[in-house]
Amino acid sequence: MSACLYECDVMHRRLKPVQKRFNYRIFMLSVDLDDLPKVSLLGLNRFSLFSLNDHDHIDLGKPGGIRGNLLAWMKEKEIECPEDARIRLVTLPRVLGYAFNPVSFYYVSSSEGSPLFAIAEVCNTYHEMKLYLIDGWKDDFWQRKLAKNFYVSPFSDVRDFFDFRLGPPGEKWNVQINNLDQEGITLVSSITGSKAPLTAGRLLWFGFKYPFLSLKVIFMIHWQALKLWLRKVPFFPKDKNRQSQRDVLRPHPSLTSTDE
């Protein structure tokens, strides 16, 4: 499958301690990392209407761009991956140079196309990043429940769990990521997308249809957080339970400070 776009419905539904649901529309880019330099319609590490930048994704200072750094991370974590594996990235692009990616997805397959595993790359508003390996295949989805150990929302404990269910990108694309505490699901999040061709005309149309894509996402996050705060939903400070925030890339000073 060549580079394409997914026009998506995003849904978040909080179940406790208060019930709240909101939806919004976005589009995401899907591209094989080996083909990324050839996708002339996107700016790669340069300013453009829509672009991708290596530094918005895993960046360990290794050569080879996103692919090289992701392979280095997998080697560091002792994740077996063939050097000739195909890696497809599904992500929000930069818009007019601005980027905020709450979550991106890597789908890893053998050179022959056999699926191997998926990786979710989660970012927070502090620009921290954490990667999660999802390698359980069931019912045509990559699935895995994992300790979160990452500060995503001030209204969710870093000691909670993520329950990932990632569908492979095809004509349709479906993802579900639930937040769980010790008693069960607290927040349900889903992305449901339909494939569209990556053409100059469609990118231009999406430029009008989604003119502030990344700003819209971060605005929605803060707007919904404000409404939860006004409803006095319990709040977890960033510097609380620092010992539970593990394997964080680009750690915020709140994690690296020696102050108690």
Average confidence score pLDDT of the chain: 91
For the chain, what are the domain ranges? Answer: 4-199+210-256
Can you tell me the distance from the alpha carbon of 161 to that of 181, in angstroms, rounded to the nearest whole number?
6
Residue 85 has pLDDT above 60, yes or no: yes
pTM for the whole thing?
A: 0.94
- What pLDDT does 145 receive? 97
Residue 258: which pLDDT band, with cuts at 50, 70 and 90? low
Structure tokens given for 16 = 């406790």
Q: Under DSSP, is residue 221 helix (H, G, I), strand (E, B) or coil?
A: helix
Can you tell me the distance from the alpha carbon of 89 to that of 107, in angstroms, rounded to the nearest whole number?
7
Residue 248 has pLDDT above 90, yes or no: yes
Q: Under DSSP, is residue 159 helix (H, G, I), strand (E, B) or coil?
A: coil
